[in-house]
Amino acid sequence: MTHARPVYRPGLRRRIGHVRDLTALLLRTGLLLSGGPRRVGRQLGALRRWGTSLAGVLAAAAAHSPSRPALIDDEGVLSFGELDDRATRLALGLPLHGPRPRVGVLCRNHRGMVETLVACSRRGAEVVLLNTGFGTGQIRAVLGELRPALIVADAEFAPLLANVPIALRRTVLWADRRPGPPGGPPAAGTPLAAPVAAPPAPGPADH
């Protein structure tokens, strides 16, 4: 049986579209280049440093309104400032080397995934979003072709990744602290909770 080749690597046009959509969202919500001179100055500084990447857009939003809610999930609310701070510390903790390393992300929709995407953007990494519905054969084929330098995954996918050859696993990090299924193999990765566990650093006053 053959499978249709999955679309897992966004092209330049799609990446530009993502940045454009994020920028448009911040403009609609009044978070981009609005407010007093100090706020605008902080935003311009963030964009000058990070560009119009995902990291840059979030940094600009955090510079404008650090206390404003950015993300709501099962664990609660993260403000723009908290999300930017956590993603920054996660970026520093990712074991990535060389120019534009490739990172495979096998996560469901939660704050860990968002933090991972922003952290990879800060490190200049190429992100490959892996389909959470992949079976063993599919994940082996995709990883065999892409050869990512790092895989960031939810703990529930430990059994799936345990079947991937060691040469393709590289380093496996778990994006949350949930245990894998009962009776499954132990998670062999390093919890991503460690780099982001410290409380957020004080940000600029939101006024």
Q: Whole-angstrom Cα distance, residue 179 to residue 118?
A: 24
CA angle, residues 109, 89, 72, in degrees to nearest 5: 30
- Helix 54-64 to helix 12-28 angle, to the nearest 10 degrees? 10
The pLDDT tens digits of the residues spanning 59-94 come to 888 887 889 888 888 888 989 999 999 998 888 888
The token duo for 87 is: 């993603």
**Of all residues in the chain, what percent carry a pLDDT higher than 70?**
58
How many whole angstroms from its chain centre is CA 131? Answer: 15
- Burial class of residue 126 (count of CB atoms within 10 Å of its CB; 0-12, 13-18, 19+): middle
What are residue 77's DSSP bridge partners? 72
For the ranges 141-145, 169-173, 202-206, the maximum mean pLDDT occurs at 141-145
Residue whose C-alpha is closest to residue 22's, from 91, 113, 87, 117: 117
CA 99 distance to own-chain centroid: 18
The strand pair at 171-174 and 190-191 is best described as parallel
38 versus 29: the higher-pLDDT residue is 38
Cα 150 off chain centre by: 13
Residue 158 has pLDDT above 60, yes or no: yes
Phi, psi (5° rounding) for residue 73?
A: -140, -165
Average model confidence (pLDDT) for the chain? 72
Which pLDDT value is given to residue 110?
86
The 3-state DSSP class for residue 160 equals helix
CA distance 7 to 4: 9
Q: List domains and CATH numbers for the chain.
A: 7-65 (no CATH), 68-202 (3.40.50.980)
> pLDDT digits over 8-24, tens only?
344 455 555 555 665 56
Nearest to 78 by CA among 47, 104, 46, 115: 115
C-beta of residue 132 within 8 angstroms of C-beta of residue 157: yes
